[in-house]
């Protein structure tokens, strides 16, 4: 779909062709893409120093760091699944310090109440009235640690905040910061004393990122870096929330061809009607991905193009985003579980089968 325009078809004042695959033919579109490219370059100047600062504390885990940046650019919440000790908390803390924004960690436990998260009304005897005491949710970056250890009523307290960026306490509604992001963690193997997340809440996470062990070379670097018992995060703030919000506006203007949009819809629709795409998966899928998957695929693909310094989306951006966007939105059947088929296996089959534009 993306073809390099012939130089003879361009007007003399047109900028030189990008070394990246060019967008669809058409002089007007091409010039518009070049303008977006320039805007992306200007508005992403904070990205290289931010990556360097994060790299001071986080060795390896490039996928995790990239997805955290995607969350910042899109405002989408992220569910991190991985074993303890894989730098999930450290990555979020480092990001918060490098972006110079507020960070709060909430440790979820079975005895928590919703008021422990959003806050509550406290009676003031001197004023003979109730005053609102805001909870830790009133921050920019929220780390919901081991979110599946809290009961459903506590988990549901996050729903309004995650979806509408507001919290209701008593009769008052409070707006949350414009740069608001929930990063939740859960242990994939420990089930005792946990409460599975409701489907409604799982669907509100833009991405589910699986955090894996580092490689041997990366672990050796981690060992060499840990020569001191001090745990201080020596990171210099290199970006501000205003930089992130400005970058979001540019990211929203990134060009996406109609064929790419159709490709996104086809990928999501294939999880609901696999037979229409000659996929023999009908017995493995109980419910397919929701429309939120379609919307989030578009947003994440645009953010990946922004991180790559491009003003347009390629099919590879969509394919790169598909696994993290859809793995938690597919509900597999008992037959699939019995045969050891996971939602990741189904998504890979869909990506291999649905025609790429």
**Domain of residue 309, CATH code:** 1.10.8.80
- Say yes or no: 167 and 215 in one domain: yes
Q: What is the pLDDT of residues 303-329, one digit of tens each?
A: 999 999 998 999 999 999 999 999 998
Q: What is the pLDDT, as a whole number, of residue 219?
A: 86
Residue 59 is assigned to a structural domain of this protein: yes
Q: Over 90: is that where the pLDDT of 262 sits?
A: yes
From 211, 238, 265, the end of a domain falls on 238
pLDDT class of 279 with cuts at 50, 70, 90: confident
What phi, psi does 77 have (nearest 5°)? -80, 155
Q: Which tens digits make up the pLDDT trace of 145-204? A: 888 888 888 887 787 788 888 888 878 888 988 888 999 888 776 666 677 777 777 888
Examine the domain organization and report whether 200 and 272 are in the same domain: no
> Does residue 100 form part of some domain?
yes
pLDDT tens-digit readout, 123-145: 778 777 788 888 889 988 999 88
pTM over 0.85: no
Q: Return the percentage of the chain with pLDDT > 70, whole number.
A: 88
Q: φ, ψ for residue 335 (rounded to 5)?
A: -60, -40
Residue 60 falls inside a structural domain: yes
**150 and 273 inside one domain:** no
* Bridge-based pairing state of the strands 141-145 and 129-134: unpaired
- What pLDDT does residue 25 have? 52
| CATH number for 55 | 3.40.50.300
What confidence score (pLDDT) does residue 12 get? 42
Residue 61 lies in a domain: yes
Bridge partners of 354? none
Give how many domains the chain has, as a whole number: 2
In a domain, residue 33? The reply is yes
Residue 42 CA to residue 118 CA, distance in Å, equals 37
Region 245-256: what's the mean pLDDT? 91
Is there a single domain that holds both residue 40 and residue 51?
no
pLDDT, position 8: 36
- Cβ atoms < 10 Å from Cβ of 68: 25
Same domain, 168 and 53: yes
Q: Which of 238, 272, 292 is the last residue of a domain?
A: 238
Give domain status of residue 281, yes or no: yes
284 neighbors 333 (Cβ within 8 angstroms):
yes
Does one domain contain both 97 and 72? yes
* Residue 130 and residue 29 in one domain: no
Is residue 113 located within the same domain as residue 223? yes
Q: Is residue 4 part of a domain?
A: no
Q: Which is higher by pLDDT, 7 or 86?
A: 86
Question: Cβ neighbours of residue 100 under 8 Å, at least 6 residues apart?
Answer: 237, 239, 240, 241
Tell me the pLDDT band of 38, cut-offs 50, 70 and 90: confident
Its domain, for residue 314, covers 17-44+254-353
Q: Is the domain of 230 the same as that of 107?
A: yes
Q: Tell me, yes or no, whether 74 and 96 share the same domain.
A: yes
C-alpha angle 220/304/159, rounded to 5°? 95
Same domain? For 168 and 232 the reply is yes
List phi, psi (to 5°) of 175: -80, 145
Please indicate, yes or no, if residue 180 is contained in any of the structural domains: yes
- The pLDDT of residue 226 is above 80: no
Q: Are residues 136 and 276 in the same domain?
A: no
């Amino acid at each position: 779909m993306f073809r390099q325009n012939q130089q003879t078809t361009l007007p003399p004042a047109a900028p030189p062709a990008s070394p990246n695959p060019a967008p669809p033919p058409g002089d007007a579109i091409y010039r518009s893409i070049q303008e977006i490219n320039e805007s992306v370059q200007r508005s992403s100047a904070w990205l290289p120093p931010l990556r360097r600062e994060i790299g001071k504390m986080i060795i390896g885990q490039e996928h995790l760091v990239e997805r955290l940046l995607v969350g910042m650019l899109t405002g989408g919440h992220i569910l991190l699944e991985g074993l303890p000790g894989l730098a999930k908390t450290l990555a979020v803390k480092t990001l918060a310090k490098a972006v110079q924004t507020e960070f709060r960690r909430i440790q979820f436990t079975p005895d928590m109440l919703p008021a422990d998260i959003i806050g509550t009304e406290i009676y003031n005897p001197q004023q003979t009235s109730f005053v609102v005491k805001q909870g830790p949710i009133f921050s920019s970056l929220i780390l919901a640690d081991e979110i599946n250890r809290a009961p459903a009523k506590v988990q549901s307290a996050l729903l309004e905040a995650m979806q509408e960026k507001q919290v209701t306490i008593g009769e008052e509604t409070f707006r949350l910061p414009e740069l608001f992001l929930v990063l939740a963690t859960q242990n994939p193997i420990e089930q005792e004393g946990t409460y599975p997340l409701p489907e409604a809440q799982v669907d509100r996470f833009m991405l589910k990122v699986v955090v894996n062990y580092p490689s041997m070379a990366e672990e050796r670097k981690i060992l060499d870096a840990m020569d001191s018992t001090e745990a201080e995060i020596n990171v210099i703030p290199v970006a501000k929330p205003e930089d992130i919000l400005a970058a979001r506006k540019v990211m929203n203007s990134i060009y996406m061809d109609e064929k790419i949009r159709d490709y996104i819809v086809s990928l999501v629709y294939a999880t609901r009607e696999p037979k229409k795409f000659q996929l023999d998966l009908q017995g493995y899928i109980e419910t397919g991905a929701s429309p939120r998957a379609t919307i989030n695929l578009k947003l994440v693909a645009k953010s990946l193009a922004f991180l790559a310094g491009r003003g347009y989306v390629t099919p590879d951006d969509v394919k790169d985003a598909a696994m993290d966007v859809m793995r938690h939105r597919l509900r597999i059947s008992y037959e699939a579980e019995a045969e050891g088929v996971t939602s990741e296996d189904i998504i890979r089959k869909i990506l291999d089968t649905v025609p790429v534009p």
